[in-house]
Amino acid sequence: MSSKIKIQLVVIFFLGISSISKGQDLHFSQFYNSPLTINPANTGFIPDADYRIGVNYRNQFSNIMSAPYKTMSAFGDAQLFRDKLENGWLGVGGVILSDVAGSGSLRSTKVYGSIAYHQMLGNSSLLSAGFNVGWASKRIDVSKLTFPDQFDGKFFDNSIPSSVVFSNTSLVYIDVQAGLNYAYFPQENVYINAGYSIHHVNRPKETFFNDLSNNGRIPMRHIGFVNAILKVADRVIINPTIYYTNQAKASSLVLGLNANYNLSEFGEKQLIAGIYYRYKDAAIPVVGLETNNLRFTFSYDVTLSSLRNFNNYRGASEISIIKKGFYPSNLDRASLCPKF
């Protein structure tokens, strides 16, 4: 066996075992198209519509793993009581996430319900607060796993006893998130938004091992972002974003922008293109099309880290589909952000 193949096996092993031994959050490179998993205060935080529904799909490591990571989500949220609450409204929503990772078929299923309150502050700013509560389940098929101490020099033999011992192969827990959002829109062509959220507030237990160091508790995850929607020309709107997340000793910084180009008279059809950079990890080009408030976007993670030596720069592909709309009684409601 060549040294390169041995290194590839080690890399693949640690990619898989890191997801098993620690609580790793599901994530999307198109984080801006998965609003409820980023911040529960985003629930009903829809400046250009009354409701939205969406689906996301991510396929990762398909060229270096026989069983790549596949992550899917479906979400929906809506604004309520805008005609009953003075200068404010309620947002309600929910999200379902499903993930299958690695040769051991590590399966994660999460279902969250979220609620947020949004209050206008004068005529040019908005403050929001929200939280969600979710049910999470994980299970692993240990019979499909092999470990380094089962390598006989030529092959991995799972009939050889391993020193890796699982205390259980499935688990269920309750999870809680909370967050704040602030938006500022001084004129019709400028919209600025910043948010902060804390995930795993209740620090649920998630481990398949007898973890005595921290009782298997998921460390709290912190997410902060700043974005803007700016109409820079009659047919061009740009959306620059900075996103940062930190959990335990792991962190990620992403920055970039999307641009929408109007292909019709009133913005019924828009061409979307963008580029993002995840610090020391990947470049993420984005293309898409929006027609009649139905948006399709595709992105691809081009690996720039040392992992590129094994995956040949091919990281993950993602598809997002989002539909926005207005209630029949609100068809003439003014948008809070720039529009064509």
Tell me the per-residue pLDDT of 190-203, one tens digit each, with 9 for 90 and over. 999 999 999 999 99
* Better-scored residue on pLDDT, 154 or 12: 154
- What does the alpha-carbon distance between residue 238 and residue 18 come to, in Å, rounded to a whole number? 37
Residues 317, 338 contacting (CB under 8 angstroms): no
Amino acid 8 reads Q
Residues 298, 318 contacting (CB under 8 angstroms): yes
How far CA 236 is from CA of 264, 297, 298, 339, in Å, comes to: 12, 17, 20, 10
Q: How confident is the model at residue 66 (pLDDT cuts 50, 70, 90)?
A: low
Q: For 205-243, how does the pLDDT look when each residue is reduced to its tens digit (9 = 90+)?
A: 888 777 655 678 899 999 999 999 999 999 999 999 999
* Better-scored residue on pLDDT, 65 or 198: 198
- What does the alpha-carbon distance between residue 187 and residue 198 come to, in Å, rounded to a whole number? 31
Residues 263, 295 contacting (CB under 8 angstroms): no
- What does the alpha-carbon distance between residue 168 and residue 142 come to, in Å, rounded to a whole number? 10
- What does the alpha-carbon distance between residue 335 and residue 289 come to, in Å, rounded to a whole number? 20
- What does the alpha-carbon distance between residue 49 and residue 33 come to, in Å, rounded to a whole number? 15
Just give the CATH number of 3-153+164-330: 2.40.160.40
Which candidate, 90, 86, 84, 59, places its Cα nearest to that of 72?
A: 59
How far CA 208 is from CA of 62, 63, 167, in Å, comes to: 25, 28, 6
* Better-scored residue on pLDDT, 83 or 226: 226
Q: For 286-310, how does the pLDDT look when each residue is reduced to its tens digit (9 = 90+)?
A: 999 999 999 999 999 998 988 777 7
The secondary structure element, H or E, covering residue 236 is strand 236-247
Does position 15 have pLDDT exceeding 50, yes or no? no
Helices (H) and strands (E) in the chain, counts: 3, 14
Q: What per-residue confidence (pLDDT) applies to 101? A: 76
Residues 238, 257 contacting (CB under 8 angstroms): yes
Q: How confident is the model at residue 64 (pLDDT cuts 50, 70, 90)?
A: low
Q: How many CA atoms lie within 13 A of 270 on its CB side?
A: 24
Q: What per-residue confidence (pLDDT) applies to 14? A: 42
Q: What per-residue confidence (pLDDT) applies to 18? A: 42
* Better-scored residue on pLDDT, 9 or 27: 27
Q: What per-residue confidence (pLDDT) applies to 22? A: 45
Exposed e or buried b per residue across 58-95, where buried means at least 16 C-beta atoms within 10 angstroms of its C-beta: bebbbebbebbbbbbbebbbbbbebeeeeebbbbbbbb
Residues 235, 340 contacting (CB under 8 angstroms): yes
Which of these ranges, 5-19, 49-63, 114-128, 143-157, has the smallest mean pLDDT?
5-19
Q: How confident is the model at residue 24 (pLDDT cuts 50, 70, 90)?
A: low
Which of these ranges, 7-11, 263-267, 299-303, 317-321, has the smallest mean pLDDT?
7-11
Q: What per-residue confidence (pLDDT) applies to 12? A: 43
Q: For 137-169, how does the pLDDT look when each residue is reduced to its tens digit (9 = 90+)?
A: 998 877 777 677 667 767 776 767 776 777 778
With H, G, I as helix, E, B as strand and everything else as coil, classify residue 41. helix
Structure tokens at 153: 């020099």
Structure tokens at 88: 């404010």
Q: What per-residue confidence (pLDDT) applies to 204? A: 92
Q: Considering the chain, what is the average pLDDT of its residues? A: 86
Q: For 271-284, how does the pLDDT look when each residue is reduced to its tens digit (9 = 90+)?
A: 999 999 999 999 99
When pLDDT is averaged across residues 71-98 and rounded to a whole number, the result is: 94
Pairing of strands 190-199, 221-233: antiparallel
